[in-house]
Structure 1
Amino acid sequence: MTVINGYEQSDRNEKLDILNLPSLEARAKKIIPQGGFGYIVGGAEDDWTLQQNTKAFTHAQIVPKALSNIENPDLSTNVFGIDLKTPVMMAPAAAQGLSHSLGEKATAQGVAAVGALMSQSTYSSTSIADTQAAAPDAPQFFQLYMSKDWDFNNALLDEAMKAGVKGIILTVDATVDGYREQDIINNFQFPIPMANLERFAAGDGKGKGIGEIYAAAAQKISEDDVRRIAEYTKLPVIVKGIESPEDAMRAIGAGAAGIYVSNHGGRELNGGPAAFDTLSAIAKAVNHQVPIIFDSGVRRGSHVFKALASGADLVAFARPVLYGLALGGALGVQSVFEQIDHELEIVMQLAGTKDIEAVKHAPLTHFHYEN
């Protein structure tokens, strides 16, 4: 255990015995301090949208396919010109030092071990360079919370380009902080500095709540900002936080190289739709012009399958990874990805889909069960 400013960080590094990913939450709650756990687990207001994110996967059902003459399904894929061993990626998630003393460095190592794509947040506990150096041969994206200060934005983008990231994820659905009641109950303030803020901003985030940190972020984001970032970096810009076909088309029109369908894991606009319920319509509008990343509520291999069959090219998640990080460090992260990949392999076999391209063309039936 490492203690920073009175906050107890896990130092574990061990493979995990996992029944399923939802079961990790209760295990992680026992070792992550209350404030940090509340920040990770909590959504906006009464968590209605957060809860619907996972329940919405029941709205589509996978059609079993027998006599398909396949075995050992292949999970490998290529997206944004990047060869990956799995279509499951790490979603950008802030302040991973709340889960483990090595923070994003351990996450990057665990993600690299399974051949997946890592993305790191502006509000990471470790710097862009240090996170990349932890897994130097593995692909990473950098997620930008755009600041009002373009000197700050450019400094982060310069650092990301220098580190060799493969793309920029621009988050556009968090111009203000959602009303996060867990943080209010715990009077939560970040006990650990945020490395990128420490290096490039006036403050390091320590001792502040997420609302105070968001106050320095841009409250106005437009198509011009997408163009500006794409022109400045010459990297693919993936616009994150899209939940309507109209916004997807606006982003593509502004030069987005990818669409990221997400409602921020239910942490921003409570009362909005489950992200999965918006995916098919967005994919239909995008019509393969650019790749689509999907997250929010993913907990099972069957969820990954349904998202891919509904139009996603990559499927991301974060909370279960952060629980695995706390419970087992880099090896725990690896265990989480191996579990969801194992479940996906089983579903692919039973659905008669030999590879990810076949999953994307797999039929789903749709029926809304009472939740």
Structure 2
Amino acid sequence: MAIINGYEQSENEKELDILNLPSLEAQAKEIIPKGGFGYIVGGSEDEWTLHANRSAFTHKQIVPKALSNIENPLTDTSVFGLNLKTPIMMAPAAAQGLAHVKGEVDTAKGVASVGGLMAQSTYSSTSIADTAAAGDGAPQFFQLYMSKDWTFNESLLDEAKRAGVKAIILTVDATVDGYREEDIVNHFQFPIPMANLTKFSEGDGAGKGIGEIYAAAAQKIGPDDVRRIIEYTDLPVIVKGIESAEDALYAVGAGAAGVYVSNHGGRQLNGGPASFDVLEDVAKAVHGRVPVIFDSGVRRGSDVFKALASGADLVAIGRPAIYGLALGGAQGVASVFNHLNDELKIIMQLAGTQTIEDVKHAPLLNIRY
């Protein structure tokens, strides 16, 4: 273990033998310090929406197809002009140094090794440039938590462009932080500097609570902000935190190159819908004009299949990859992606789908218990 400001960081670097992704949470809890683990695992209020994200996948069932002459399904896909080996991507999750001493650098290495897409957060433990370099040319997106200070936003966007990111993800559902009781109980403050804050104008993030970090965030975000970022960067902008057809249409109307269906893993608006329950409506509203990314609650290959069949083009994971990071560094992250991809291939085979494009057209049964 490495220690920074009294906080112990994992230095594990090993391939993982994974039974399933849900089992990783308990294993990670054993090595991530209590405050850091609470920040990673926790949702808002009584975590109703966090738990609904998992149960929502039971609302649709996959239709088995046995006489389809399928073998060796392929998970390659092309989205946003990028050729990827898997439709599973890394969500932009903050402060990964809480899980591992190398943080986002190891996550980027792990995701690149499986041919996936990495998204890095404004509140990363490592810098935009270092995280991008760790991917060794693999595609990455940069996620912007828009600040009240536009100069600060420009600094981040400028570095992201210099680092060669392929798109900007604008998060719009975090203008204030959700009421996260795990952090309150643990009196959690970030023990590790956030590289993007250190380099610019808002302190380093260390010693602050999540509320203090979010206090600098823009509390008003609208379609004009989407247009402004597009004009400033000349990069595709994907709007993250979409949970209604109305917001999806606003985003596309403002020129967004993609919409990202997410409820922030149940960390923001408690009592809101599970992301999977709104995915189909959002995808229908978008009607193929731009790609759709989906996250929140994904733990199984069947979850990935159902999301793709409900209108997603890419499916992102957050917590499971961070648990893999804590347990095995870059190799642990790769192990998580490989396991989920292997589960997806089994489901594809049994559902009679050869390619990811086939999955997108696969029928699902709508059944609510």
Q: What TM-score do the two structures reach when normalised by structure 2? A: 1.00
- Deviation readout 1:222-275 (Å, 9 max, x if unpaired): 100000000111111000000000000000000100000000000000000000
Counterpart-to-counterpart distance in 2, 1:133 and 1:202: 24
What residue in structure 1 maps to residue 336 of structure 2? Answer: 336
* Separation in structure 2 between the aligned mates of residue 93 and residue 67 of structure 1, nearest angstrom: 41
Unaligned runs of 5+ in 1: none
Residue 300 of structure 2 corresponds to 300
Alignment deviations for residues 42-64 of structure 1 (CA, whole Å, 9 cap, x no partner): 00001110000011000000000
Matches within 5 A, 1:168-207: 168-207=168-207
Please tell me the residue identity of whatever aligns with 2:358: A
Query: Do structure 1's residue 313 and structure 2's residue 313 form an aligned pair?
Result: yes
What amino acid is the match of 2:316?
A
Q: Report the counterpart of residue 260 of structure 1 in structure 2.
A: 260
| Aligned residue runs from structure 1 range 232-247, under 5 A | 232-247=232-247
The structural deviation recorded for 1:337 is: 0.2
- Deviations along 1:160-182, one digit per CA (max 9) or x if unpaired, are 00000000000000000000000
What does the per-residue CA deviation read over 1:335-358, in whole Å, with 9 as the maximum and x for residues that have no partner? Answer: 000000000000000000000000
Q: Distance in 2 between matches of 1:197 and 1:306?
A: 38
CA distance in 1, matches of 2:99, 2:85: 26
Match in the other structure for 2:65: 65
CA distance in 2, matches of 1:81, 1:201: 34
Aligned residue-pair number: 369
Determine the C-alpha separation between the residues in 1 that align with 2:136 and 2:205: 27
Q: CA deviation at 1:201?
A: 2.0
- 1:142 and 2:142 equivalent? yes
For 1:136 and 1:168, the matched residues in 2 are separated by 19
Partner Cα distance (2:319, 2:90) in 1: 10
Q: Secondary structure at the match of 1:61?
A: strand
The aligned counterpart of 1:109 is 109
- Measured against aligned partners, the alpha-carbon deviations of 1:200-230 in whole angstroms (never above 9, x if no partner) come to 1231110001111000000000100000000
Whole-Å separation in 2 of the counterparts to 1:275 and 1:246: 15
Partners of 1:359 and 1:165 lie apart in 2 by 28
> Could you say what secondary structure the match of 1:86 adopts?
coil
In 2, Cα distance between equivalents of 1:47 and 1:248 = 25
Cα distance in 1 between the residues matched to 2:202 and 2:25: 35
**Inter-partner Cα distance in structure 2 for 1:359 and 1:281:** 18
SS of the aligned residue for 1:280 comes to helix
- Describe the SS at the equivalent of 2:212: helix
Residue 39 (structure 1) aligned with residue 39 (structure 2) = yes
Give the AA of the match of 1:116: G
TM-score, scaled to structure 1: 0.99
Alpha-carbon distance in structure 1 between the residues aligned to 2:333 and 2:66: 34
Q: Distance in 1 between matches of 2:211 and 2:365?
A: 41
Q: Note the C-alpha offset of 1:139.
A: 0.3
What is the rounded CA distance, in whole Å, between the counterparts of 1:236 and 1:351 in structure 2?
Answer: 34
Deviations along 1:299-333, one digit per CA (max 9) or x if unpaired, are: 00000000000000000010000000000000000
Give the partner amino acid of 2:62. I
Q: Which amino acid aligns with 2:64?
A: P
Please give the alpha-carbon distance, in whole angstroms, between the structure 2 residues aligned to 1:61 and 1:141: 32
Residue 287 (structure 2) aligns with: 287
TM-fit CA distance, 1:70: 1.2
SS of equivalent to 2:3: strand
What is the CA–CA distance in structure 1 between the aligned matches of 2:79 and 2:209, rounded to whole Å?
36
Residue 85 (structure 1) aligns with = 85
Q: Distance in 2 between matches of 1:284 and 1:221?
A: 24
Per-residue CA distance 1:54-82 (angstroms, 9 max, x = gap): 11000000000011001000000000000
Deviations 1:283-311 (A, max 9, x none): 11110000000000000000000000000
The alpha-carbon deviation at position 137 of structure 1 amounts to: 1.3
Q: Deviation string for 1:118-148 (max 9, x for gaps)?
A: 0000000000000011112100000000000
Q: Tell whether 2:30 aligns with 1:14.
A: no
The residue number in structure 1 matching 2:354 is 354
Q: Residue 347 of structure 2: SS of its match in structure 1?
A: helix
Using the alignment, how far apart are the partners of 2:271 and 2:366 within structure 1?
A: 22
Cα RMSD over matched residues? 0.4
Distance 1:239 1:282 in 2: 13
Q: Give structure 2 stretches of 5+ with no counterpart.
A: none
Matched, 1:271 2:278: no
SS of aligned partner of 1:221: coil
Q: Partners in 1 of 2:158 and 2:328 — Cα distance?
A: 33
Question: Which residue matches 2:94?
Answer: 94
Give the share of equivalent positions with the same residue, in percent: 75
Runs of 4+ in 1 over 3 A off after TM superposition: none
